[in-house]
Chain A
Amino acid sequence: MTEEIIIAGFGGQGVLSMGKILAYSGIMQDEEVSWMPSYGPEMRGGTANVIVILSNERISSPYLKVFDTAIILNQQSMDKFQSTVKPGGVLLYDPNGITIHPTRTDIKIFQIEGNKLAVDMGNTKISNMIVLGAFLKIKPIVKLDNVIEGLKKSLPERYHHLIPLNKEAIAKGMDNLMSFKVNEPSLS
């Protein structure tokens, strides 16, 4: 099994940390992992993206142009990465702030209201965990227990009291995943 994922959004949406938790979870179940971020000026207020690969084999290239899954959290990233999903692959996105929705019909498209649900839960910082939960509902590539172990590893000890909240957020994401149907082009 090899899963090649791109996660993209604004800096501050928890893109890099979502990738990191996913990578840690992979390690917890003895997989090979790589985490390759965009870095530099892009990080400061602009878009951030990270390529995460989980595999049971040695990972060759950590840098890719096509992906099994794209997790997209803003419009710029939608514009940039929709086309990079392999045919038959998965595109998961948070519709918050998206005005031009995906149009591809050769991939599976899902929505998760990460931002909105996080507001409902009273903590906008956990929107990325809601999205992660939705992703794991589509592709259960890592066990939930391992995600929790991964969280313990990636969070400093002083944040460990937030782990139950994160767990709740993942469950929220799993429960609220929606599949998205691309509209057939109308004649008008």
Chain B
Amino acid sequence: MSELKLMKGNEALAEATIRAGADAYFGYPITPQTEIIEYLMTEQPEKRTGMVVLQAESELAAINMVYGAASTGKKVMTSSSSPGISLKLEGISYMAGAELPGVIVNVVRGGPGLGTIQPSQADYFQSVKGGGHGDYKLYVLAPSSVQEMSDFVEDAFDIAFKYRAPVLILSDGLIGQMMEKVYLKDQKPRLTNEEVIEKYGDWAVTGKKGRERNIITSLDLQSEKMEARVRRLMKKYEKMEKEDMRFEKTLCDDADYLIVAYGSSARISQKAVELGRKKGIKIGLLRPITLFPYPKQPLFELANQVKGILSVELNAGQMVEDVRLAVEHKIPVAHFGRTGGIIHTPEEILEALEQKIIK
């Protein structure tokens, strides 16, 4: 059973968080994602499911609240937009180091600095190349529709608890602000405290009833122990690459040219593919759904088939580096993207493909 609604991406994500049986949300207002905390405050999920919603004094406090609740095995989320995510990186690094599950949402706006409140994908590097300090990676899900803003919440929590690791949902102002049809899942019950203790009692700090104490920390003053911790993290990331990499191919079977794009850019590129095909150019689209793990192998394989690739991103050229690495420079790869909050049009994308790749 599911419920059909017309919702903004941000609202759909907020509603899905309640329905996923989340225990808590901690956030701080920033455009273009403020609807998430506004929706949650209006919905009063503490009355619906007992979920806690709190407006923190800063993004720093919010991510550390996530750290706290996650330390106890609770299902917890925070959300922000680019400048706020920069602040959260401290806590995100600590969560990765302390091996805590949790979901962080970034509804990206243009940067650097205060930048613009309009949509952007300029936080790709920050999201997939670490962002915070130390050897860690985030599992990154990139929704490209309001439906995925809703669906990826539960997926993100599942991955977070499967690996005991923070998971990032990387959206942007376009997906966050637009409304589409969305099928909402049924309410999942929140775990009771007893269930949390039973499921996560081997590591979570819930009070040491009937067991030895648990400690959550990211600190290992002995180098050998710290190296062992880093190795353990790397094993997780390898496992993510093997088991949980996601992508979507559209019209790739007969494609001569390929567009690689994620999130909102993938939606716009899809239209560019349609326009191109109307002109007789066989274009395919590969949409990475997870940005880490990145769909390296599918891209590598397509490099044997297509003549060139255009990486379309709302930034000055970030993911294009990963595309080049994936195809090992076998075929031409170019970048196209607008910045500053300007959204590229399907026509511009097709023109860029014709000029930079087809020539």
Chain B residues near A34 (CB-CB < 8 A): 178-180
Which residues of chain A have C-beta atoms less than 8 A from B269's C-beta? 61
* B32 proximal to A (CB < 8 A): yes
- Mostly, the A contact residues are mixed
Q: Which A residues are in CB contact (< 8 Å) with B273?
A: 60
Of the stretches B57-65, B222-230, B295-303, B340-348, the one at the interface is: B340-348
Which residues of B does A touch, CB under 8 Å?
4, 6, 31-32, 117-118, 173-174, 177-181, 264, 267-274, 343, 345-347
Contact of B6 among A24, A59, A61 (CB under 8 A): A24
Total number of A-B contacts with CB less than 8 angstroms? 72
The distance from the CB of A129 to the nearest CB of chain B, in whole angstroms, is 18
> Are B181's CB and A20's CB within 8 A?
no
A65 contacts B117, CB within 8 Å? no
By the criterion CB–CB under 8 Å, are A37 and B181 in contact? no
Chain B residue nearest to A19 in the complex (CB): B179
Chain B residues, Cβ within 8 Å of A60: 267-268, 270-271, 273-274, 346
Q: Mark A77-110, 1 if CB is under 8 A from B, else 0.
A: 0000000000000000000000000000000000
Q: Contacting A20 at CB < 8 Å: which of B6, B174, B272?
A: B6
Residues in chain B near residue A36, CB distance under 8 A: 174, 177-179
By the criterion of a CB under 8 Å from any partner CB, how many residues of chain A are at the interface?
23
Shortest beta-carbon distance, A126 to chain B, in Å? Answer: 21
Nearest residue (CB) in A for B32 is: A39
> B118 to A40, Cβ gap below 8 A?
yes
Q: 10 interchain pairs (CB within 8 A)? A: A27-B4, A33-B180, A36-B178, A37-B177, A60-B267, A60-B346, A62-B178, A64-B346, A65-B345, A153-B6
B250, closest chain A residue (CB):
A60
Is the CB of A130 closer than 8 A to any CB of chain B? no
Please tell me which one of the listed residues B6, B31, B177, B274 contacts residue A23 in the complex, with CB atoms under 8 A apart. B6
Question: Once the chains are docked, how many angstroms separate the CA of A83 from the CA of B343?
Answer: 18
Contact call A35/B179, Cβ cutoff below 8 A: yes
A39 CB contact (under 8 Å) in B173, B267, B268: B173
The verdict on A113 contacting chain B, using a C-beta distance below 8 Å, is no
Q: Please indicate the chain A residues that have their CB under 8 angstroms from the CB of B271 in the complex.
A: 60-61, 64
